[in-house]
Amino acid sequence: MNQSIFFSAGEPSGDQHTARLIDALRVRAPQLSYRGFGGSEMQQAGCQLDFELTQLAVMGVVEVAPKVAEFYRVAQQATQIFSQSPPRAVVLVDFPGFNWHIAKRAKANGIPVYYYLPPQLWAWAPWRIRKVRKYVDKVLCVLPFEYQWYRERGIDAEYVGHPFFDAVAKKPLDPATMERFRTLRREGKRLVAVLPGSRRNEVTNNWPLQLEAIRRLSKRHPDVRFQVACFRDRQCLWCREQLTAEDQSLPLDFFVGKTSEIVEAAESAIMVSGSVSLELMARSTPAVVLYRVGRTIKWLASVLVSTKSMTLPNLMAEKTLFPEFVSAGDPEPVIAEVVAAADRLLSDPAHLADVQRELQTLRSKYAVPGASDRAADQLIAMFDANQAIANRRAA
C-alpha cells in the first residue's frame, strides 16, 4: 500500500504548521512519506512539493478571480495524483476555498480526508458544514470554542490545541537581534512592533495605513522606535519603497524573519489581522488590529460574518483585548482610530498593564504547547484504523 500522506496548505502560516506536523509524524511513523501542495518549510521538513501553493495565497473574490484558472489547474493536478498514485490519506490545512476542491477529489478516489486547522465556519458561512459532512472524515480543531461548534453539529472532531503555541515555545530567539533591542531600551527607546501581514495583498493594502499611523505617533512619542516585521524580502523592499523623502527620518527599523523577536521585545504592536495575534497573546504583547478591504468585501462580511470579532484572542477571551478596525473606502477614519488606540497603550501605563495581565491569564489557559504532537498522534491512530479496515476487507 502507498505509504505517502498528501498535504494541502496554502497559507504561509499553514506551511509552517504543516512542517511541524510532518516533523512530529516522522518520529512516530518513519516509514511514511509526504507530498502535496504547500511551501518551502514543508519542503525543508521532507515533503515533496507538487506545487508551491503558498504563492497563490489570496483572500476575497476580487483577489481570487484572476487566479481561478491556476487554482483549477492545480486541483486537476491533485486529481491526477489521487487516481494514479493514491496516498494513504489527505490532510488539509486551512485554505478552505481551494481545499474543498482537494477534499472532493480525494473522496472521489476513496481516500480518507482529515482537516487540520479547519475552516472557521463558526465565523462565516455556517451552512458549509454540509461540505465537512460530505468530504471530511475527521476534523482536528485548534480552538476550544471551535471544537464545541463542530461537535454540536455532529462532526467527528478532536481538540488538539493551536500549533502557533508550539512555534512560540520551540523557536529560539536570535541572540543578536534581542541584544540589539536591549541596547535600544537601555538608550531610553520604547519599542512598538508593526506587523504588515504575510500575504502580498495584505501588505500592499495595509502598510500605507500603518505608515501614516507611525508618522502621527512618532510626533506624539519621540522616544518610540517602530520595528517592522516583514515576512518576505520582497515585501520588505516594497514597504521601504513607500517611504517619502520626509519619512527617511522616521524612527523605523525593518526586519525579515524576526517576527518572534520583535513581538517579544515590543511593549505593544500595530498589526494586520491574522493568526499571528496568537503569538502576541502568548508573549503578552498588547496590540491594535486593522484590516483594509474593498467596500464590497466589507459589505459581504457584515452580512455573512456571525462573530463579533476578527481577532482570535478577543474571541477566546470573549471580550475586546485587542481593539480592531476594518477599513474600506476613505482610510482616514480608521487611521485616526488606530492612532488613538495605539496612543492609549503608549500614554497610559495602567491601561497597558491591565491588558498585559489579561493576556497572561489567557495565555495560561490556552497557550499550551504540544498541538503538533497531539495532531500527529490522532492522525497515526486514524491511519492505523483505516489500515486495519483495509486489511480485513482484503482478507
Instruction: Tell whether the model's pLDDT for residue 336 goes beyond 80.
Output: yes
The confidence band for 13, taking pLDDT boundaries of 50, 70 and 90, is confident
Q: Is the per-residue pLDDT at 302 higher than 70?
A: no
Distance between CA 125 and CA 303 in Å, rounded? 10
pLDDT digits (tens, 9 = 90+) for 46-79: 999 999 999 886 544 445 556 788 999 999 999 9
Predicted pLDDT of residue 305: 62
**For residues 63 and 212, what is the distance between their CA atoms, to the nearest angstrom?**
24
Q: Where in the chain is the domain with CATH 3.40.50.2000?
A: 4-161+370-394, 168-366
Per-residue pLDDT of 128-142, as tens digits, reads 899 999 999 999 999
Q: What average pLDDT does this structure show over 165-193?
A: 95
User: What pLDDT does 309 receive?
Assistant: 83
Beta strand pairing status for 157-159 and 190-195? unpaired
> Per DSSP, which regions of the chain are E strands?
4-9, 33-37, 47-51, 89-93, 113-116, 138-141, 157-159, 190-195, 224-230, 252-256, 268-272, 287-292, 324-327
Residue 372 reports pLDDT greater than 50 = yes
The three three-digit cell numbers of residue 51, written as one number: 506545487
CA 309 to chain centre: 16
Q: What is the pLDDT of residue 303?
A: 57
| Model pLDDT, residue 388 | 77
CATH class entry, domain 4-161+370-394: alpha beta
The type of residue at 87 is P
Can you give the pLDDT at residue 2?
A: 74
Residue 194: predicted pLDDT: 98
**Which CATH architecture describes the domain 168-366?**
3-Layer(aba) Sandwich (3.40)
pLDDT of residue 391: 75
Given a cut of 60, whether residue 186 has pLDDT beyond it is: yes
Q: What 3-state DSSP class applies to 142?
A: coil
Whether the Cβ atoms of residue 217 and residue 224 lie closer than 8 Å to each other:
yes
Q: Residues 283-306: what's their mean pLDDT?
A: 80
pLDDT at 61: 41
> Greater confidence, 365 or 345?
345
pLDDT score of 43: 98
Tell me the mean pLDDT in the region 67-95.
Answer: 94
- Average pLDDT over every residue of 81-104: 95
Please report the sign of the dihedral spanned by the C-alpha atoms of residue 372, residue 108, residue 97, residue 315: negative
- Read off the pLDDT of each residue in 167-172 and give the average, rounded to a whole number: 86
The type of residue at 385 is: A
pLDDT band at 169 (very low <50, low <70, confident <90, very high): confident
Q: Residues 203-255: pLDDT tens digits?
A: 999 999 999 999 999 999 999 999 999 999 999 999 999 999 999 999 999 99
Residue 374 has pLDDT above 90, yes or no: yes
Write down the pLDDT at residue 92. 98
Q: Residue 99's pLDDT is what? A: 96
Higher pLDDT: 274 or 114? It is 114
Determine the pLDDT at residue 301. 64
Average pLDDT over residues 299-314: 74
Percent of the chain with pLDDT over 90: 77
CA 161 to chain centroid, in Å, comes to 14
In the predicted model, is pLDDT for residue 346 greater than 60?
yes
pTM of the model: 0.79
